[in-house]
Each structure stands twice: as C-alpha cells, then as structure tokens.
Amino acid sequence: MTELVIFSLLNGLVTGLLLFMLSSGLTLIFSMMGVLNFAHASFYMLGAYFAYTISSYIGFWPGLIVAPLLVGLAGALVERYGLRHVHRHGHVAELIFTFGLAFLIEEIVQFFWGRATKDYSEPELLHFPLFTLYGQNFPAYKAFMILISIGIFIGLFTVLSRSRIGLIIQAAITHPHTVSNLGHNVPLVFMGVFGVGSALAGLAGVIAGPALGTFPGMAFVLGSIVFVVIVVGGLGSLPGAFVASLLIGWLQTFAIALDWSVNDLLDILGVSFDADHVLRDLWTLSLPQVAPILPYILLILILIFRPTGLMGKRET
C-alpha cells in the first residue's frame, strides 16, 4: 500500500504539473483577452509533432528550445490573422473559432504526419530509472518533466510579479482600457500573450510527447481536461490553475489506484441486489472505472455551487 501511495503521489504530480503547463498559458490568455481557447491543447500537440520532426534531424535538446518557439510563432499568427478578426463578433464567436481551429489543426497534423503514432522518444541521456522503490522504477524522464514544469512555474511567477512587462500584463488583465490609455499597445500585448501561452502549451507537448505518445488524438484526450482545470481553479487565477492542476492530477491517479466500488459501499450498508437488476451497472461501478469522468463531475459541481472557482475572484 505504501508503494502505491508513493508512486501515485509521484504520478499525480507529473500529470498535475503537465496540466499546469497547459492551463497556465490558457489562464493568461483568458485573463487578458476573455477568450477560452478551445485549440490550446492543439498547440500542445503541435509542440510534440514539431519536436518529433526536429529530434529526428538534430536531436531532442534543440527541439526542446526550437519547437516551443515555433508553436509560439504559430500562436501569435493565429491571434493576429484569425482571432483578432473574429473578436468583434463577441466571445461566443471566438469560442466557436477556436473550436473550429482545434478541428482544423488535428486534420492538418494528420495531413503532414499521418495518423499512426510517431516514434518520438525521450533522449538516451534520460533513459534510465532514477530510483527503484519496492521493485518499481521511477524513470528519470519523469523527474525531468517535474523539473521543467516547476521551472516554468517559478519563471512565470517571477516575470509576472517582478518585471515591467509583467506589471503591464497584470494591469491589462484588470484594466485594459486604462492600460491602453497609458500608451501601451494592447493589441501587441495580446498577440504576445497569446504567443507565449501557445509556446507554453508547445513546451508541454515537447516534454509530454515521449511519455504519453505522439498521435493525432493527443489534443482531444487532454483538451477538455485543461478547460476543467482553469474553471475549477477559477478563471484568470494562476495560483488557482496551479492548485486545480495538482488536484485533478492526484484525483485521477488515486481514483485509479483505489479499488473502491459501489458494491463495497453497499456491503458496508448491508444492502444487496440481484445480479440482473436493471441498475446492475450502477452497483458494480468502481472508482477506477469512473476516474476519467471525475473531473467533469467536479466541473459541473463547481459551476453550479461556486462559479468563481476555487481561487477566482470573478464569475466565469
């Protein structure tokens, strides 16, 4: 049991931090522009594919730097020539646009890279078990993922709270018109933020690609979870996104690790039902089975009972 708990904590931390890399960019974008970017996970996928192609020519490490930059550039272009165009039609139109973009990017990825899973793997340097506990390996690459994510969190936090540009961004989040009146080029800041947010997603893709697989469906399996994270954490709140990322990471990992089922509960209550009862599927429901949908239950509950999210200040 101890090993299960330790490894679940570690695995949940890896998943949670990965979610944070995605949700931090999405939160930044939402705070500044009011846009919930449906295509955010698609930029994550682009990051993985770019890095795959780069790594097949010049290795993993250059890809770690170059791929996020390319994704950031792509994000900035999307903002400049796509989103800004749609902006005047309101936020619902923007949401529809990013939804269409997510659909389109998946098709484009299939056009260029095909449909099969790509053999994008971690560098040889990190291809060893960092430590073995109770006979179970913890890969060094996972530790590397944790390090990078924490580095990003610290970096982002420092930039936002210490630097001049961070101050402008913070100000633009709350008072965009005032910032504009002060002579700052708000559209340029928007483009920059969208680009940086996309680059963060791209970086997440670069490091997650080898661990979670690089295939055209990778954006889809992650896409809506990232939404859940930022809504649960509170829209526009970076600390909220951080807490919610870890929460959901651990929620999913522990739900898989713990074999609790409705049956156990019924046993405790001393109730039993026929095996062919109409609701038989409900009685046999187990926690690992429902693990992937727990975040959505959390989402709905949060939206109903605490629309500001865990740490958000404003309603969604």
Residues of this chain, 207-266, that bind another protein according to CB under 8 A: 211-213, 215-217, 221-222, 224-225, 227-228, 231, 235-236, 252-253, 256-257
- Considering only 1-9, 51-59, 61-69, 199-207, which stretch makes contact with another protein by CB under 8 A? 1-9
Label residue 1 exposed, middle or buried (CB < 10 Å: 0-12, 13-18, 19+). exposed
Tokens 């971690």 sit at which residue? Answer: 122
153-162 long-range contacts, CB within 8 A, separation 24+: 153/17, 153/20, 153/24, 153/242, 156/24, 156/200, 156/238, 157/238, 160/238
CA 217 to chain centre: 15
How far is residue 10's CA from residue 27's CA, in Å, rounded to a whole number?
25
The partner residues of 118 in beta bridges, in order of sequence, read: 214
Position among 53, 170, 263, 316 found at the interface with another protein (CB under 8 A): 316
Closest to another protein by CB, 69 vs 140, is 140
* Window 46 to 75, contacts with another protein (CB under 8 A): none
Closest to another protein by CB, 154 vs 300, is 300
Q: Could you write out the DSSP letters of every residue in 46-89?
A: HHHHHHHHHHHHH-HHHHHHHHHHHHHHHHHHHIIIIIHHHHTT
* Cβ neighbours around 255 below 10 Å, total: 21
* Window 108 to 147, contacts with another protein (CB under 8 A): 108, 110-112, 114-117, 119, 129, 132, 134-137, 139, 142
Position among 53, 82, 168, 263 found at the interface with another protein (CB under 8 A): 82
**Interaction pattern, residues 13-42, with another protein; x per rule: CB under 8 A:** -xx--------------xx-xx-x------
Closest to another protein by CB, 159 vs 212, is 212
Position among 168, 263, 288, 308 found at the interface with another protein (CB under 8 A): 288
Q: State the nearest-atom distance from the C-beta of 268 to another protein, in Å.
A: 21
Say how many residues touch another protein, by CB under 8 A.
92
How far is residue 29's CA from residue 36's CA, in Å, rounded to a whole number?
8
Give strand ranges (E) for the chain. Answer: 129-133, 136-139
* Window 83 to 102, contacts with another protein (CB under 8 A): 85-86, 88-93, 95-97, 99-101
How far is residue 127's CA from residue 248's CA, in Å, rounded to a whole number?
27
Q: State the nearest-atom distance from the C-beta of 167 to another protein, in Å.
A: 18
Q: State the nearest-atom distance from the C-beta of 252 to another protein, in Å.
A: 7
Tokens 């098709």 sit at which residue? Answer: 107
Q: State the nearest-atom distance from the C-beta of 214 to another protein, in Å.
A: 10
Q: Which of 129, 123, 113 is nearest to 218 (CA)?
A: 113
Helix 2-33 and helix 238-257, axial crossing angle in degrees, nearest 10? 150
* Window 268 to 287, contacts with another protein (CB under 8 A): 278-282, 285
Closest to another protein by CB, 118 vs 200, is 118
Tokens 């989402």 sit at which residue? Answer: 299
**Interaction pattern, residues 157-196, with another protein; x per rule: CB under 8 A:** -------------------xx-------------------
Closest to another protein by CB, 57 vs 112, is 112
- Considering only 48-56, 152-160, 267-275, 300-308, which stretch makes contact with another protein by CB under 8 A? 300-308
